[in-house]
Every structure is written in C-alpha cells, then in structure tokens.
A = this chain, B = another copy of it.
C-alpha cells in the first residue's frame, strides 16, 4: 500500500476544469451558481474556470438565464456549439465514412462513400481515406469550426499499447500505423488521433445514444462483411487486456466449416456475415435483399433465418459466458432485425442457461451503419471533455 500522492495546484485545476465542464454538459443552461452548487467548488473558482473554458470555445454563455420570478439572474451556460468538433472516419471493408460532431455529440456532417477496399493495395486505400478526411476538414471550415480531435474506426485488431492496427482480416492489412500513414497523406490538424476497432466504437455510440436511461450492460453486434462485437458492462466498454476483445466474428460455430479469412475454419463470419447472406439469398446488395424480404421471397427469408440461427448460437455462448442481459443488433443486422430476431431468440431460449430467470433482450440499434463512425467522432470529443486542460494546453 502506498500513500496517495499529494495533488499539486495544476492537477487540482485540471480535475476541476473537467468537473465544471461535465456539469455544463449534463445540465445545459445551468448558471455559474448552479455549477458551484453541483460541484461543491466556490463560486469564484467556478467563475475563473468557466472564463477559461469560454476562452477556449468549450463553453458558451447565452446571457441572462431565462427564469420567472424575482432574484438575481445567473447566466446560461452550455457546451459551445461552435467549439472544437470531433472528426470521425471509418475505414470499412466496402466503404469509407466520415462524420463531424459538435461537443454535444450532435452530427453536423456525415458522408459514406462506397469503396472496394479489400481488393486494393493499402496505400491506395489510405490515400482515399486521406482525401475523405481532407474533404471533411473542408466541411468543418465551411461550418466555421475547428477540429479538436480525430477518431479512426478500423475493421481489425488495434493494440492498445501501441495504437497499431495489427491485423484486419477482411482488408488483409497487417501492422499499419494508421495515424502516421494518414498524417503523411493529408494536412491534418495537430490534434490527437484515436484508432479503435469499429465494433467497439459502434457499441460506444449505442451506449451514448441511450443516455442515462439506456441499457448499461449489453453486447452490441455489428453485422457488416465482418462481424464484430462491442461489450459494454456497467456503462464501460470492455475490450480486454490488449484491446483485442469482442471478436465475435471468429467464434467457431461449426469447427469443420468453411475456411475463413483469419485462416481458421467454421467462423461465424463465414456463416452469418453479410456476404454469405447475400449469396444465399441471391441478392446483389443489402437494398436488393431488403426488397426481396419485404416482397416475402422465401429464399431471402431462409437465408436470413439461417444467419439468425448461427448468430443466436454464438450469442448464446456469449451470454452463457458473460451473463449480459441484452443484445443490440447494429449495422446490417439492424436492417434485418424483423427477419433475424426470431430465429436468433429461439437459439437463445434453447441455449442460455440463465434464460428462464433473466430472458435476454434482443434490441435493434437506431444508429444504422453509421454507428461506428459516429462513435469514433464522439470519442474524439469525449477525450476533450474528459480533460479540457490537456486540450487547452495543446492550443498554445
């Protein structure tokens, strides 16, 4: 046991800045006195911190608080709508998406550009991603806002200790230093670049979209060409010791099954991934598949049912292991939810041991395929909110 180290003035201010900013974020329209009451800081300290946060365009002062009755009016504080924005980019297997969000996480701009990334050389893909980032920076300029942080979502294993993309099976990429490669190809602002697994960013987007009333314990399943999961326990992302957790796509659901891009056999991805569903359904793309499903085409419905059964098989293992009360279907699976959920639930009912006492909820994400890129952009903003002093120091 070691004694806690004394907190210096600098540490205290840093902590208090974050506390004040959190109070403003949680109660838009709050007054300085309100912030003081909420944080336990003196009004003088709050005033001084708020002034610094206003100076850095993190907080906006909308003038006198609107409330009826007598007494002195405070002023109305909120996160600054024209403050630093978060820029998210997702390097998908068959698209590149970008997204700009303000400090509250509101989407200001979003673009998804189809791209056959798995059949092209790495530098070519990176050049296109850089071009998309440049275009998004242009949008930020047009909106008159600065980009305060960048989040990059990738379909692979990102090593927490190094930030390297170690392996993206569906892109066939190995050991790519994504931030460095993008900085070489685009004039990016001197801000932090976070890289993370797309399924984890999507799960965070889902968590944050739910706010204080949404589920705090769930597994979010992103169905795309790859299948990834983001595990949220007690309102926190759980991604393992190295950050490699959540690789649901490589669950061996039928160990002697077809060969997967990861080298192994019978992975869930090869039985319930988007490509396999489309092929089994005889559909050209997701839009075509949805049309066939709505039209009641047997072959399409059967293909989705089969995927639902395999997905349910793997998810029953996840629930038996982690005892999470809810599964949230995202990405392609959110679109397929009406046809996918029942066969999936049937497997959960048959296989989850704790089911009779705690039935697993199967929910549908409202965020669609943009969840990951929004989560990446929102993560960039949340990094600023969690440590505004670090952000302000980077400005000078």
Q: Which residues of A contact B (CB under 8 A)?
A: 1, 3, 22-23, 26, 38-40, 157, 159, 166-167, 169, 217, 229, 231, 238-248, 250-255, 262-264, 313-314, 316-318, 320-325, 350-351, 353-354, 356-358
Given A238-B322, A242-B323, A244-B357, output 20 extra A-B contacts at Cβ < 8 Å.
Answer: A1-B22, A157-B354, A166-B356, A229-B321, A241-B324, A241-B358, A242-B325, A242-B357, A244-B323, A244-B353, A244-B358, A248-B321, A250-B351, A251-B317, A252-B253, A252-B313, A254-B254, A255-B313, A264-B350, A321-B322
Task: Given A1-B26, A250-B320, decide whether A241 and B357 contact each other with a Cβ distance below 8 A.
Answer: no
Taking A231-B321, A255-B254, A255-B313 as contacts, is the C-beta distance between A217 and B241 under 8 angstroms?
yes
- Cβ of B40 and Cβ of A3 under 8 Å apart? yes
Contact between B354 and A322, CB atoms less than 8 A apart: no
A contact face: mostly helix, strand, loop, or mixed:
loop
Contacts of A263 in B (CB 8 A): 350
Contact of A318 among B22, B262, B321 (CB under 8 A): B321
Within 8 Å by CB of A321, from B39, B246, B325, B350, lies B246
Contacting A324 at CB < 8 Å: which of B240, B324, B325, B358? B240
A325 to B166, CA, bound (A): 17
Residues of B within 8 A of A250 (CB): 316-317, 320, 351, 353
B residues in contact with A248, CB < 8 Å = 320-321
Complex Cα–Cα for A254 and B266 (A): 10
Q: Is the CB of A247 within 8 A of B358?
A: no
Which residues of the other chain, B, contact A251 by a CB distance below 8 angstroms?
317, 320-321
Residues of B within 8 A of A231 (CB): 321
Q: Give the number of times this chain occurs in the complex, counting copies.
A: 2
Return chain B residues, CB-CB under 8 Å to A245. 320-323
Q: Is the CB of B353 within 8 A of A242?
A: no
**Please, how many angstroms separate the alpha-carbon atoms of A322 and B353 in the complex?**
20
Interfacial chain B residues near A351, Cβ < 8 Å:
250, 252, 262, 264
Q: How many angstroms between the C-alpha atoms of A239 and B354 in the bound complex? A: 12
CA distance A159 to B355 in the complex (A): 12
Report the separation of the CA atoms of residues A167 and B262 in the bound assembly, to the nearest whole angstrom.
Answer: 37
The smallest beta-carbon distance between A233 and chain B, in angstroms, is 8
13 chain-A/chain-B pairs, Cβ below 8 angstroms: A1-B22, A167-B353, A167-B356, A217-B241, A244-B354, A247-B321, A247-B354, A250-B316, A250-B320, A251-B320, A251-B321, A252-B313, A321-B321
Docked pose: A2 CA to B157 CA in angstroms: 38
Give, as a whole number of angstroms, the nearest-CB distance from A353 to chain B: 5
Task: Name the residue in A167, A253, A262, A321 with the highest tally of chain B Cβ atoms < 10 Å from its Cβ.
Answer: A321
